[in-house]
Amino acid sequence: MKNKIELLSGKRFPKERDNHIIACNAYLRMGPGRSMTKLLKHWDDRGTKGGYKPPTKTKKTLGHWSSNFDWAGRKKEYDARIEDEENAALDEANQRARERVLRVGAALDYKRIERLAKLLDRLESMLDEYLIMEDAKQLGGHLGERYDFERYNSSLISDIRGIYDDLAKETGGRVRMVETDVTTDGDKLEFIDIVAAIQTAREEVNQEKKDHDDDRRK
What's the pLDDT at 97? 77
The span from the CA of 73 to the CA of 9, in Å, is 9
209 strand-pairing partners: none
Give the angle subtended at the CA of 180 by the CAs of 177 and 186, to the nearest 5°.
115
73 pLDDT more than 90: yes
Is residue 146 within 8 Å of residue 136, measured between CB atoms? yes
Q: Are residues 131 and 182 in the same domain?
A: yes
Both 138 and 79 in a single domain?
Answer: no
Count other Cβ atoms within 10 Å, centred on residue 67.
Answer: 10
Q: Quote the pLDDT of residue 190.
A: 46
- Do residues 201 and 140 share a domain? yes
**Segments forming the whole domain that contains residue 198:** 126-217
Tell me which of 51 and 77 has the higher pLDDT. Answer: 77
Q: What does the angle CA 112 – CA 117 – CA 123 come to, to the nearest 5 degrees?
A: 125
* Distance between CA atoms of residues 2 and 123, nearest Å: 82
Q: Can you give the pLDDT at residue 77? A: 94
Question: Do residues 75 and 136 share a domain?
Answer: no
The pLDDT confidence band at residue 30, using thresholds 50, 70 and 90, is very high
Last residue of a domain, one of 87, 106, 134: 87
Kindly state whether residues 130 and 71 are assigned to the same domain: no
pLDDT band at 17, cuts 50/70/90?
very high
Do 79 and 137 belong together in one domain? no
Q: Do residues 131 and 213 both lie within one domain?
A: yes
Q: Count the domains in the chain.
A: 2
CA-CA distances (angstroms) from residue 168 to 22, 162, 172, 176? 66, 10, 6, 9
Q: For residue 99, is it within any domain? A: no
Residue 134, pLDDT score: 81
pLDDT tens-digit readout, 107-152: 666 777 778 888 888 888 888 788 888 887 777 666 667 777 788 7
Distance CA 154, CA 10 (A): 79
Please count the residues of the chain: 218
Residue bearing the bigger pLDDT, 105 or 124:
124
Q: Out of 87, 111, 142, pick the residue that ends a domain.
A: 87
Q: What letter represents residue 51's amino acid?
A: G
Q: What integer pLDDT is reported at residue 8 of this predicted model?
A: 92
pTM beyond 0.75? no
Q: To the nearest whole percent, how much of the chain has pLDDT over 70?
A: 70
- Tell me whether residue 170 is in a domain: yes
The whole-chain average pLDDT of the chain stands at 77
Q: Is the confidence at residue 60, as pLDDT, over 70?
A: yes
